[in-house]
């Protein structure tokens, strides 16, 4: 399997290199040069397989010759053995044709664990026995940071520097990061906003001397291997509800377009997906793009669904590239226009291609709260606010096929918002019970390039 950049000007890479690189050197995102496909019979054979065996069957074509089947299976067993549910991603029925796909049974209670637990092991596998060393630098508003830290703690060849805005994430989220005391984990609280933290990280990647000296890498959803790991649960859920005989629809609470793009990949591989609903909160750039062709950036409104409070959706570029005829030059020009003006129009081919599979919806605060109450009163399910955005969209979408809403966070992670909507506070699962007693370690730094790079340079491993 070979991987190409959406901007057409970066080296073609294999799976191992694409995993370690994250972003392409031309600023684009990597994609397989062609989609592998599964026949109807091959999809039917997934029925009855465990999550791990499904994962191996779905991911093996993307891994190519970077690992054997046995090696991939061993990594999947290790990654998904840490989940608290034997089904890894269980389905829960809400009514006759509405279902929840619970993706939050991993160590940090967010769906990001599904991909990051595997990614951490892939990094270690590709770095062990080599002299290579990578420095992961990231900014987080909560969920990504805790999932990445849990996945990478103690792994050989990797240092992690995670920036978060001081005092602006929940105590559960902070403690999930700062109580991990492995020597390769470095939490940095910056005196500033999430946007400032993200801008600092971007500046470090753009500083070629600094980025090269410490072999900086990223684990946000621009990393191809993360998307690949997320394709699995679309197959896993769909075959349990009757695929390939029946078509299945999915509603996905969307921020950076990573999760729902994995659904698109599943459809490209041959899974009979009737529809993918891109559910946004009031930060609705994707809903506007998909319903009117206008992809234009606006200011961020803070909501009870912080993982969807985005200005732009980085993975959308992957869809535009695939639908626009895979023309790297044209994609680079479209993105350059967007980067200079903050707005762009989808081409006719892009709009038409998207509307064949995607629908979109924008869900406001009141409808989100109503969906939380409906799930509780009519199906006995306590759901988190992100999941509620997608459930609201799922319930008002037309259609007569089974509809699966992706449940992306455990409700206890957003206890305040849940309590406000349904009058009940979900308890933290027992395995996190002593989180509030554990020792914390973090550094607090001013939000300046000098302070943060100085701190990292003293602690990271430089390339020989």
Catalogue the active-site residues.
112
Q: What is the CA radius of gyration of the chain?
A: 21
Q: Tell me the C-alpha distance between 244 and 240, whole Å.
A: 10
Neighbours of 449 (CB within 10 A): 13
Nearest to 171 by CA among 199, 146, 197: 146
The residue number whose beta carbon is nearest to ligand PLP equals 258
Of 215 and 307, the one with the shorter C-beta distance to ligand PLP is 307
Q: Which of 331, 360, 408, 453 binds ligand PLP (CB under 6 A)?
A: 408
Sole window of 44-52, 69-77, 122-130, 248-256 interacting with ligand PLP (rule: CB under 6 A): 248-256
Sole window of 196-204, 250-258, 333-341, 444-452 interacting with ligand PLP (rule: CB under 6 A): 250-258
What's phi and psi for 444, nearest 5 deg? -110, 125
Of 23 and 46, the one with the shorter C-beta distance to ligand PLP is 23
Greatest C-alpha distance within the chain: 61
Sole window of 16-24, 115-123, 247-255, 438-446 interacting with ligand PLP (rule: CB under 6 A): 247-255
Binding mask 12-51 for ligand PLP (x = CB under 6 A): ----------------------------------------
Of 381 and 408, the one with the shorter C-beta distance to ligand PLP is 408
Of 28 and 411, the one with the shorter C-beta distance to ligand PLP is 411
Contact status: 179 vs ligand PLP (CB under 6 A) = no
Sole window of 154-162, 253-261, 296-304, 356-364 interacting with ligand PLP (rule: CB under 6 A): 253-261
Q: Which of 54, 176, 251, 256 binds ligand PLP (CB under 6 A)?
A: 256
Residues between 327 and 386 that touch ligand PLP (CB under 6 A): 386
Of 362 and 386, the one with the shorter C-beta distance to ligand PLP is 386
Sole window of 5-13, 85-93, 122-130, 252-260 interacting with ligand PLP (rule: CB under 6 A): 252-260
Sole window of 188-196, 256-264, 328-336, 421-429 interacting with ligand PLP (rule: CB under 6 A): 256-264
* Shortest separation between residue 271's beta carbon and ligand PLP, angstroms: 18
Binding mask 213-242 for ligand PLP (x = CB under 6 A): --------x---------------------
* Shortest separation between residue 407's beta carbon and ligand PLP, angstroms: 9
Q: Which of 120, 253, 353, 411 binds ligand PLP (CB under 6 A)?
A: 253
Nearest to 403 by CA among 257, 239, 276, 233: 276
Binding mask 99-118 for ligand PLP (x = CB under 6 A): -----------x-x------
Task: Work out the end-to-end distance of the chain between its first and last CA atoms, rounded to an integer number of angstroms.
Answer: 30
**What is the size of the binding site for ligand PLP (CB under 6 A)?**
16
Of 259 and 367, the one with the shorter C-beta distance to ligand PLP is 259
Contact status: 258 vs ligand PLP (CB under 6 A) = yes
Of 28 and 253, the one with the shorter C-beta distance to ligand PLP is 253
Contact status: 259 vs ligand PLP (CB under 6 A) = yes
Residues between 295 and 324 that touch ligand PLP (CB under 6 A): 307-308
Of 148 and 447, the one with the shorter C-beta distance to ligand PLP is 148
Contacts with ligand PLP by CB under 6 A lie at 110, 112, 143, 221, 253-259, 307-308, 386, 408-409
């Amino acid at each position: 399997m070979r991987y190409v950049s959406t901007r057409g000007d970066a080296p073609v890479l294999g799976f191992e290199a694409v995993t370690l690189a994250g972003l392409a050197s031309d600023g684009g995102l990597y994609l397989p040069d062609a989609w592998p496909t599964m026949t109807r019979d091959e999809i039917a054979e997934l029925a009855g397989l465990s999550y791990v065996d499904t994962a191996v069957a779905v991911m093996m074509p993307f891994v190519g010759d970077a690992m054997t089947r046995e090696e991939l299976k061993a990594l999947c067993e290790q990654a998904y053995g840490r989940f608290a549910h034997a089904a890894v991603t269980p389905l829960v029925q809400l009514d006759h044709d509405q279902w929840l796909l619970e993706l939050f049974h991993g160590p940090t209670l967010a769906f990001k664990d599904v991909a990051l637990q595997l990614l951490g092991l892939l990094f270690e596998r590709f770095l062990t026995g080599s002299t290579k060393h990578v420095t992961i630098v990231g900014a987080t508003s909560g969920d990504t940071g805790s999932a990445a830290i849990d996945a990478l703690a103690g792994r050989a060849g990797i240092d992690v520097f995670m920036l978060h805005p001081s005092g602006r994430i929940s105590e559960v989220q902070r403690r999930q990061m700062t109580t991990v005391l492995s020597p390769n984990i470095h939490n940095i609280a910056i005196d500033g906003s999430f946007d400032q933290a993200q801008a600092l990280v971007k500046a470090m990647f753009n500083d070629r001397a600094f980025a090269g000296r410490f072999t900086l890498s990223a684990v946000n959803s621009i990393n191809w291997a993360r998307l690949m790991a997320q394709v699995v649960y679309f197959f896993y859920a769909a075959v349990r509800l009757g695929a390939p005989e029946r078509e299945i629809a999915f509603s996905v609470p969307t921020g950076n377009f990573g999760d729902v793009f994995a659904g698109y990949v599943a459809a490209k591989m041959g899974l009979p997906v009737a529809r993918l609903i891109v559910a946004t909160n009031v930060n609705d750039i994707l809903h506007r793009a998909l319903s009117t062709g206008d992809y234009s950036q606006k200011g961020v409104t803070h909501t009870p669904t912080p993982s969807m409070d985005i200005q732009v959706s980085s993975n959308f570029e992957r869809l535009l590239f695939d639908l626009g005829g895979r023309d790297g030059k044209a994609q680079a020009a479209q993105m350059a226009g967007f980067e200079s003006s903050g707005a762009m129009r989808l081409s006719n081919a892009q709009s038409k291609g998207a509307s064949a599979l995607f629908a979109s919806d924008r869900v406001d605060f009141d409808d989100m709260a109503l969906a939380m109450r409906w799930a509780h009163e009519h199906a006995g399910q306590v759901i988190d606010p992100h999941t509620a955005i997608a459930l609201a969209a799922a319930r008002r979408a037309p259609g007569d096929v089974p509809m699966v809403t992706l449940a992306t966070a455990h409700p206890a992670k957003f206890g305040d918002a849940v309590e406000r909507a349904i009058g009940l506070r979900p308890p933290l699962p027992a395995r996190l019970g002593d989180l509030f007693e554990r020792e914390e370690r973090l550094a607090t730094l001013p939000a300046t390039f000098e302070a943060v790079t100085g701190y990292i340079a003293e602690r990271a491993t430089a390339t020989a």
